[in-house]
Amino acid sequence: MKLSRRLSSLKPSSTVAVMNKAKALTAQGVKVLNFSAGEPDFNSPEKAKRALIASVEANNTKYLPTAGDPETRKLLAELATSRNAIPACTPDHVLITCGVKMGLYLVAQGLFDVAAPGEPQQEFVLPVPSWVSFAPIAELAGAKVVPIETTAATGFKMTPQQLKAAITPRTRAVLINSPSNPCSTMYTPAELEALAAVIDEAARTIAPDLAVIADELYQHIVFGDTPFKAVGSIASIAPRVITVSGPGKSFAMTGWRIGWVITSGPGGKAFIDGLIKLQGQTVTAVPGFVLAGVRAALTECQADLDGFKKQFAERAEVMYSSLKAIPGLKLAKPEGAFYAFPDIGVYLGKSTPAGQKLSTAAEFATALLETKQVAVVPGEDFGGCGISCIRMSFACSTDQIKEGCRRLAEFVAELK
């Protein structure tokens, strides 16, 4: 069966690949310490589960309106205004999607045109290292990815100068992901204001259709000194900000597959209307009974959220201090989300006791899994300096973090 060129060139998600390898070893009876998971190890909140079950029992099992039910859209619009200070946001500015990933897919299809013959591609400015699916989703929609290289030394954050240099008349969108996967660092409110000034200036001069995609999926998992600020709350750029988020990571509800896209103002409503057409021609709508549980999570489960956040803060501390103690590793302090992203470059080019040379982060991660049963995600697919990094999720117990870091320390100490 012949596969389209589009799908033949599409890379599978590398985070899923490592997770699958770790699971295969586990199935063979090997005890793997898994740091590859991009999801909390907690159970979904009890009240959310009960609300979902009650909704099924009340026979809420029919198709929903394409954008989601009015009650949940209203709640999300209210929260966008009251918690995130996004102006001019009504239920009509909210589209509920099957996970944030699907939300991003719809957004990319709504933003980018496939270049006509002889026409330049529209550009998507992406600070790297970044989550593995941003680039493929934009490329599938016809965009050319323009990476901005960041490093651990600057908290993996783009500067206003870098952003200014990257925007051209062809730029259609800029991505801001704070807190970030895989870096777990955050832009301060002042840094976001400075980036917004560049975006506003570019939109008024060279790139009038410039949009900002703000991925704020990790908004509630914040434990450092930097407060969260929604990009869409910055008045000068609010009408061009498309916010994507969801309950998956904060409320330990990844498998529920719910996300949302939020805009503001008249242009934002027209954009959402466009995405609704595509959702209507693809998934139709999300399951309605799931939304009953999501509403319960958003309104009744603050205590669960606080408990999760407290645990992530403790784990971040243990992970950071354990990795800092390993000679040669460079890393930024996690401030949000639940990842550490150490640079293991100093060990690349060395060999294992069995004589295997480790030239890449992928070879490093494979040897670590095979010899010490520690599963981490190699950083190559996150782009930029990720090429010499590994991602370790701390969505696991502090005991596992301590033991995993002990084994990692042992592994690198044995390299020659």
Ligand X SMILES: Cc1ncc(COP(=O)(O)O)c(C=O)c1O
Category of 59 on φ-ψ map: left (φ > 0), alpha (ψ -120 to 50) or beta: left
- For 363-372, the CB contacts below 8 A with 24+ separation are 364/390, 365/18, 365/390, 367/411, 368/407, 368/408, 368/411, 369/18, 369/21, 369/22, 369/25, 369/32, 371/411, 372/407, 372/408, 372/410, 372/411
User: CA-CA distance, 243 to 84, in Å (whole number)?
Assistant: 11
Among 217, 316, 332, 375, binds ligand X (CB under 6 A): 217
- Which of residues 260 and 364 has its CB atom nearest to ligand X in the complex? 260
69 binds ligand X (CB under 6 A): no
Strand partners, 213: 175, 242
Q: Which is nearer to ligand X, 214 or 385 (CB)?
A: 214
Would you give the binding string for ligand X spanning residues 139-178, x where CB under 6 A is met?
--------------------------------------x-
Kindly state whether residue 246 participates in binding ligand X, applying the rule CB under 6 A.
yes
Q: How many CB atoms lie within 10 A of CB 11?
A: 12
Minimum CB distance to ligand X smaller for 248 or for 342:
248
Q: Are 341 and 129 in contact (CB under 8 A)?
A: yes
What 8-state DSSP symbol labels residue 277?
A: H
Segment near ligand X (CB under 6 A); pick from 4-12, 96-104, 147-155, 303-311: 96-104
Decide: residue 159, CB within 10 A, 0-12 exposed, 13-18 middle, 19+ buried. Answer: middle
* Nearest CB to ligand X, comparing residues 86 and 244: 244
Which listed residue (68, 129, 142, 248) binds ligand X by CB under 6 A? Answer: 248
81 SS3 class: helix
259 binds ligand X (CB under 6 A): yes
Of 127 and 246, the one with the shorter C-beta distance to ligand X is 246
* Interaction between residue 38 and ligand X (CB under 6 A): yes
Report which residue's Cβ sits closest to ligand X. Answer: 99
Q: What is the DSSP string of 297-347?
A: HHHH-HHHHHHHHHHHHHHHHHHHHHHHTSTT-B-PPP-BTTEE--B-GGG
Min separation Cβ 129 and ligand X, Å: 12
Q: How many chain residues bind ligand X (CB under 6 A)?
A: 13
C-alpha dist (Å) from residue 58 to 45, 259, 288 = 20, 23, 11
Nearer to ligand X, 171 or 254 (CB): 254
Positions in 335-374 near ligand X (CB under 6 A): none
In the complex, what is the shortest distance from the CB of residue 326 to ligand X, in angstroms, rounded to a whole number? Answer: 25
Q: Based on the shown chain and the rule CB under 6 A, indicate whether residue 181 belongs to the binding site for ligand X.
A: yes
Applying CB under 6 A, does 295 fall inside the site for ligand X? no
Of 185, 219, 254, 352, which lies in the binding site for ligand X, with binding defined by CB under 6 A?
Answer: 254
Which x/- pattern, by CB under 6 A, does the window 103-142 give for ligand X? Answer: ----------------------------x-----------
Binding site residues, ligand X, CB under 6 A: 38, 99-101, 131, 177, 181, 215, 217, 246, 248, 254, 259
